[in-house]
């Protein structure tokens, strides 16, 4: 991505975190990846003053403590946070999850491919898109 803002990953599965980290390396995404394990931790990061606001949030839906949908309900209700694009990255193909996510203004919804190579492709497309697209000013 063009800017130096970090990318926030909200994901509880360690292998999935590793997958994203590895894919970022393979696609040569230079932005720093900030990893949080659930919605609560993500909000805590976003609300801590000295932390740099992320340019994009990658959000898993099925997580302990606070799941992705509940995170979106809070984040999209706050002036400072709602402009940050959120891309859902999940295993769920359930129509209800898709509909609810878009109702909460997500920028995209990607079902995690089982195959790593295809996962890398997905991250590559994401990187391309967010390089092409303008982003709101962070600070």
Partner 1 sequence: MNHGEKEMVHRILVIDDNPDIHKDFQTILLEEEHGAELDELRTKVFGDNTGESAAGSRYELSFAFQGKEGSEKIKHTLSEDRPYELVFVDSRMPPGWDGLETIEHIWKTDPHIQVVLCTAYSDYSWEEITKRLGKSENLLMLKKPFDSAEVAQLASALTEKWGLARQASMKMEQLEQMVKERTDELTKTNEQLEQEVAERKRAQEKQTELLEQIESINRELRDFASIVSHDLKAPLRGIKTLANWISTDYADKLDKDGREQINLLSGRVDWMHQLIEGVLEYSRVGRTKEERVQVNLSEVVPKVIDMVVPPENITITVENELPTIECEPTRIMQVFENLLSNAVKYMDKPNGQIKVGYVEDDSFLKFSVSDNGPGIEEKHFEKIFQIFQTLSPRENSESTGVGLTIIKKIVELYGGKIWVESTVGEGSTFFFTLPKQKIRGKNAKLASNTVG
Q: Which residues bind partner 1 (CB under 8 A)?
A: 13, 15-16, 18-19, 22, 61-62, 90-95, 112, 114-117, 119
The residue among 26 and 83 lying less far from partner 1, judged by its C-beta, is 26
The residue among 110 and 135 lying less far from partner 1, judged by its C-beta, is 110
* In contact, 40 and 16? CB cutoff 8 Å: no
Both tokens assigned to 98: 């898709």
CB of 92 to partner 1, least distance (A): 5
CB of 136 to partner 1, least distance (A): 31
Alpha helices in the chain (DSSP H): 14-27, 39-47, 68-75, 95-103, 116-132
The residue among 22 and 76 lying less far from partner 1, judged by its C-beta, is 22
Alpha carbons 7 and 87: distance in angstroms, whole number: 11
Alpha carbons 31 and 8: distance in angstroms, whole number: 10
Both tokens assigned to 136: 């709101």
CB of 15 to partner 1, least distance (A): 4
**Residue 105: DSSP 8-state:** T
The residue among 67 and 83 lying less far from partner 1, judged by its C-beta, is 67
CB of 119 to partner 1, least distance (A): 8
């Amino acid at each position: 991505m063009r800017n130096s803002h970090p990318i926030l990953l909200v994901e509880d599965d360690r292998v999935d975190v590793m997958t994203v980290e590895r894919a970022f390396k393979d696609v040569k995404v230079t932005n720093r990846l900030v990893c949080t394990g659930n919605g609560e931790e993500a909000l805590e990061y976003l609300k801590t003053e000295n932390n740099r606001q992320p340019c994009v949030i990658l959000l898993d839906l099925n997580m302990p403590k606070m799941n992705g949908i509940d995170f979106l309900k809070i984040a999209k209700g706050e002036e400072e946070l709602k402009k940050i694009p959120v891309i859902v990255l999940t295993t769920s193909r359930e129509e209800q999850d898709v509909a609810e996510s878009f109702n909460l203004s997500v920028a995209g919804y990607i079902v995690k491919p089982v195959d790593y190579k295809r996962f890398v492709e997905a991250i590559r497309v994401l990187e391309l898109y967010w390089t092409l697209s303008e982003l709101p000013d962070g600070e």
